[in-house]
Amino acid sequence: MQVDLRSRWQIRDVEIPTRLVLAPMAGVSVQAFRRQGRRYGAGLVCSEMVSCAGLHHGNERTLGYLRISADERPLAVQIFGSEPGVMAEAARMVEDAGADLVDVNFGCPVKKVTKTGAGATLLEDPSRACAVVAAVVDAVSVPVTVKMRRGLANGSRACLELGPRLVEAGAESLTLHPRSARQMYTGEADHSLTAELVARVDVPVVASGDVTSRERAQAILATTGAAAVMVGRAAQGNPWALREILEADAAPPSREEVVAELLLFIRETVRELGERRATGFLKKFYGWYLGRGRFPRPFKQELVQLETLDEVEARLLAAAPGAAEVLARLEAEVTRPEAEDDVVLDLPISIYGGG
């Protein structure tokens, strides 16, 4: 049975307009990325991981401000750490910034996170994991959600034992990426585990992992009973993936549309981060946008080597002159948040320093 991907669903009192969730991705999920995702149909968008220790100590390299504007809501801000009190403090800060949901990361497999006892490590420390969730739930009035992997080791079923306990601790929704931390992003996501988790809890479950097409999204929802699917790497530099999942007859973008959307993303990222920070941050996006057979590979390498964003913009427009008209239309349609409408929280974006 086909699921209506454009149907609404809820996490407690937060209404989400589609069954697509845009994943939190370190060094990717800046405001410009999230707002773009909402335009292309993501019902819920998420910030990248924010270190609770960084908030508490105030000693991390700051990439920029976390800004929350009306057109990206509903928004989840994801925090990570292993100390319940410090996580509670971080949760209060992001609620004050205007987050609709506080998401707790129990899934990150990266060593610099797991070696601190945070991320996926907490899947094997259920007492501490539950204490963290309970502390965050007590600290905020917005719903608290948790994103997790299946466990640390290949074949682990830790998520199935921990999931119900996290719900008892107050989690209002769970997201499962059914790969092990050891797998990182290799192999396939085992969504039979997602179906088992859905059967064990009475809160919405979001299925994450290998959601790359409309057919795959529909199959995962139909076989697991999950409330929604989470799209991650497929949407990097490719917001059209969201539209193609939502709409059966969605057309692929033209070269002009690709260039126009990239140029808008560049301009919005500069507005958010400032040109100096944005220049380095954006380089990885060129390949994501221009790949998939859209432009020759050497063209991406040429852009990466350009010194200024003005040069990048000029080269893109030379390659696709018709993009200028598309860009003008996009800029007329996209409402930029006024400075006074943004809720600004002065905090380190992540331990990755934005990429």
Catalytic residue ranges = 108
Residue 190 phi, psi (nearest 5): -90, 90
Q: Which distant-in-sequence residues (6+ apart) come within 8 Å of 296 by Cβ?
A: none
Given a contact cutoff of 8 angstroms between Cβ atoms, the answer to whether 97 and 77 are in contact is yes
User: DSSP strand E in 133-258: where?
Assistant: 144-151, 173-180, 205-208, 228-231
Q: DSSP labels for 311-342?
A: HHHHHHHHH-TTHHHHHHHHHHHSPPPPGGGS
Residue 165: enclosing H or E segment and its boundaries? helix 158-168
Given a contact cutoff of 8 angstroms between Cβ atoms, the answer to whether 226 and 220 are in contact is yes
For residues 58, 112, 160, 130, the Cα torsion angle rounded to the nearest 10 degrees is: -30
- Per the structure block, which two tokens stand in for 105? 């990361």
Neighbours of 319 (CB within 10 A): 17
HSE at residue 202, side-chain half, CA atoms within 13 A, is 2
